[in-house]
Amino acid sequence: MTNMGSIVRRSLNTIKNKTAIDDIFPQKEDSKYIARRGKLVELLRQKGISSPLVLQAIGKVPRQAFMPETLSELAYEDKAFPIGAGQTISQPFTVAKETEILDIQKNDKILEIGTGSGYQSAVLLECGCRLYSLERQESLHTQTKERLGKLNYKAVCLLKDGFEGLLYEAPFDKIMVTAGASEIPKKLLRQLKIGGIMALPFGEGQEKRLYRIKRLSETDFEKMDCGPCAFVPMLKGINRK
């Protein structure tokens, strides 16, 4: 009886520490989202995404969980949507393309610049990497760090200026920038290991191109143009509003 009483007390204490009923009784995902996600994967395959690892990751991540509830019915359209703080959740094709060009290997150490909604973060984690993710918008950082934790995605999420990178954890196997840069982020290039790859949207104004940059040596880099892309601008500093 003593053991049973102890178990009951521990269970009650656990419930008291929860903040939402869904944390205690997780709800099964609506089957309609699973079906739509399957169709999205097929669409991305038709659009040229060929990596089995990336397609599998897209097929696992519940995109609706990373969007405002009012937009959840649109979660599996291949479009970007606003998420607040002047930011967007990227178009699934863009997420898949950026992930594919990184050629992720299991346990790669990856730095993500722009956590945003956390959707891209979740896709990277489903690919089996170790993820460090930086966000300059304090409101987004707080919400997304909590969201990723509730969905059991384990990443190191930090409120930091993406242009500065994360020097004390460098070098990184891969770096992904999820905002459009109008200047080359040189500090990030220095934090990429030799042989490592960076995905970088770059260009002036609305004309951005997605580049795959590989570090060949201490001073040499190889650049490949992967086509046009659309991103919110990459900005410096931290916004604490």
Residue spans per domain, the chain: 79-229
Contacts of 66 (CB under 8 A, 6+ apart): 83, 89, 117, 118, 119, 122, 147
* Confidence check: pLDDT of 82 > 70: yes
pLDDT digits (tens, 9 = 90+) for 34-57: 999 999 999 999 999 999 999 999
Q: Which residue has the higher pLDDT, 117 or 20?
A: 117
Average confidence (pLDDT) over 182-194: 95
Average pLDDT, the chain: 89
**Cα–Cα distance measured from residue 101 to residue 123, given in angstroms and rounded to the nearest whole number:** 14
Return the closest-CA partner of residue 208 out of 83, 47, 94: 94
CA 70 to chain centre: 21
pLDDT confidence bin for 207, thresholds 50/70/90: confident
pLDDT confidence bin for 158, thresholds 50/70/90: very high
Place of tokens 């650049």: 223
Give the CATH fold of the 79-229 domain: Rossmann fold (3.40.50)
Single-letter code of the amino acid located at 186: K
Q: What is the DSSP secondary structure assignment for residue 79, as one 8-state letter?
A: S
**Structure tokens belonging to residue 197:** 């790859």
**Structure tokens belonging to residue 37:** 């996600």
pLDDT digits (tens, 9 = 90+) for 13-37: 433 343 343 443 345 778 899 999 9
**Structure tokens belonging to residue 58:** 């897209």
pLDDT, position 17:
40
Single-letter code of the amino acid located at 62: P
Single-letter code of the amino acid located at 190: R
Q: Which residue has the higher pLDDT, 12 or 210?
A: 210
Question: Burial level of 164, CB count in 10 A (0-12/13-18/19+)?
Answer: middle
Single-letter code of the amino acid located at 136: R
To the nearest 10°, report the CA torsion of 54, 56, 61, 64.
90
Bridge-partner residues for 215, per DSSP?
A: 221
Single-letter code of the amino acid located at 171: P
The yes-or-no answer on residue 72 being catalytic is no
Q: Which residue has the higher pLDDT, 207 or 178?
A: 178
**Structure tokens belonging to residue 228:** 């046009």
Options 90, 117, 121, 133, the catalytic residue: 90
pLDDT, position 230:
87
pLDDT, position 5:
45
pLDDT, position 54:
98
